Amino acid sequence: MTNLRSVLAFNMKVQRQVLGITQAKLAEKVNTSTHYIGMIESEKKFPTPEMLERIAAALEIDATALFSLKSYPVSETGTIAKFHEQILNDIAQVIAYRVKELELNTSGD
């Protein structure tokens, strides 16, 4: 059985990252504290229905999507695809850096 707090926390984090906003920016948009957003995302607090609606609006998604177990929905603008592309680029950069670092370490042997 899936924990609702876990699903909510995951979906909030992912959507924040998709939008490129911090916990502080989300807190500002929903008129609450950064600490409270952090507590929700760390599964220590559970928001009221009214707060859930404000969070969903600030995250530009339907409130029910905060509890979706399906794969994350793609917006009309393809935002999730851009997010995945950025992750892949970041991974490629880390790998390239590590390969170069290994080459430098082995060339001195």
How far apart are the C-alpha atoms of 3 and 43, rounded to whole Å? 10
- The pair of three-digit structure tokens given for residue 3, joined into one six-digit string: 């924990």
Q: Is the dihedral of CA 97, 83, 16, 21 positive or negative?
A: positive
Instruction: Render pLDDT for 20-70 as a digit per residue (tens, 0 to 9).
Output: 999 999 999 999 999 999 999 999 999 999 999 999 999 999 999 898 876
Q: Answer whether residue 76 shows pLDDT above 50.
A: no
- The pair of three-digit structure tokens given for residue 16, joined into one six-digit string: 């924040």
Q: Answer whether residue 82 shows pLDDT above 60.
A: no
